Amino acid sequence: MRITRVWGAALLMLALAVSPAAADSSPSASPSESGDAPTEAGTSFRTAAEFEQGLTATASASTGDYLYWSFPADAGGRPTVRATVKLPEAAGSASTWQVDVYDGLRRRQACQYGAQTRTADAGAASVELSCTLRTVRAWSEQWSDDPLPGTYYVRLTTTRLATGDLGLPVGVEVRAESKDIGGAAAVDGSLAQPLVPGIAVTSEQDDEDSSAEAVLSSLEPDDGWASGWWSDRWVWTALGAVLAALAGIGGYSLTRGSGRPTRVPPPGA
């Protein structure tokens, strides 16, 4: 009876722990309704148009232009960038388009999977591109190029285009979303500041003149930076400790016997 109660308590603890763990591993929450997606794109890193994850940024441009956007990404998320280019009807030849993603240090990040480069045949109405990055880490070695929390830049351009098609109008849609990976991507460390352009300058000026801010990127995750400090790894670690304690109690209950000393017959009996 006592053993049954012990294992019943263990199963109850397991059920309670699985619920928050499953919630942590779900995709990121829906975008903020108050955010407005930009309708223009920048022409360089410094003029990149900012947009929040979950919103679709649009722009009207010309073939041959370099288009830039930026969005915030925090630790524990795996960002995916998708771009759709609506091609001009007057295009007389095939064109090749490419989307690149850079982190806050302007290091080009490799795509884990996705169609980063695609060629559209002559007469095609549109071409779709995608790039899924590696999971953003809260901390990394200096020599590593792991994705880190901060601003991420999206650059869209054509890498192969006939001279006669240069300058034709195109329409572009760009969207970024992140999947929460959870404790599987947790690391023991964190950055002092996210990789946001200008944030170090602002930190130094806060004590002197708060009006002289020089932040080049104003967007951040809805729940603030370094929101990935909590992960389901904490839940499973605590659950392992509880199960180990219950196993010790159960083993002791099985091996200690009835608790009454055994009578030893006297010698010669």
Q: Which of 115, 245, 131, 138 shows the shortest CA–CA distance to 185?
A: 138
Taking the CB of residue 64, how many other CB atoms lie within 10 A of it? 15
CB 216 within 8 A of CB 200: no
Exposed (0-12), middle (13-18) or buried (19+): which is 35, by Cβ within 10 Å?
middle
Give the chain's length.
269
What ranges do the domains of the chain cover?
17-236
Taking the CB of residue 179, how many other CB atoms lie within 10 A of it? 16
User: What value does the mean pLDDT take over residues 246-267?
Assistant: 72
In the predicted model, is pLDDT for residue 7 greater than 90? no
Strand pairing category for 67-73 and 49-50: parallel
Q: What is the pTM of this model?
A: 0.71
Lowest mean pLDDT among 42-46, 103-107, 129-133, 215-219: 215-219
User: What value does the mean pLDDT take over residues 121-145?
Assistant: 90
The whole-number pLDDT of residue 256 equals 74
The whole-number pLDDT of residue 264 equals 64
Which of the four pLDDT bands, split at 50, 70 and 90, describes residue 1? very low
Which of the four pLDDT bands, split at 50, 70 and 90, describes residue 253? confident
- Mean residue pLDDT of the chain comes to 78
User: pLDDT for 148-195, tens place per residue?
Assistant: 999 999 999 999 999 989 999 999 999 999 998 866 666 766 777 888
The whole-number pLDDT of residue 220 equals 76
Greatest CA separation found in the chain?
117
User: What is the CATH number that goes with domain 17-236?
Assistant: 2.60.120.380
User: pLDDT for 216-228, tens place per residue?
Assistant: 566 777 767 765 5
CB 81 within 8 A of CB 176: yes
Pick 14 or 68 by higher pLDDT. 68
Strand pairing category for 67-73 and 56-62: unpaired
d(CA 222, CA 52): 9
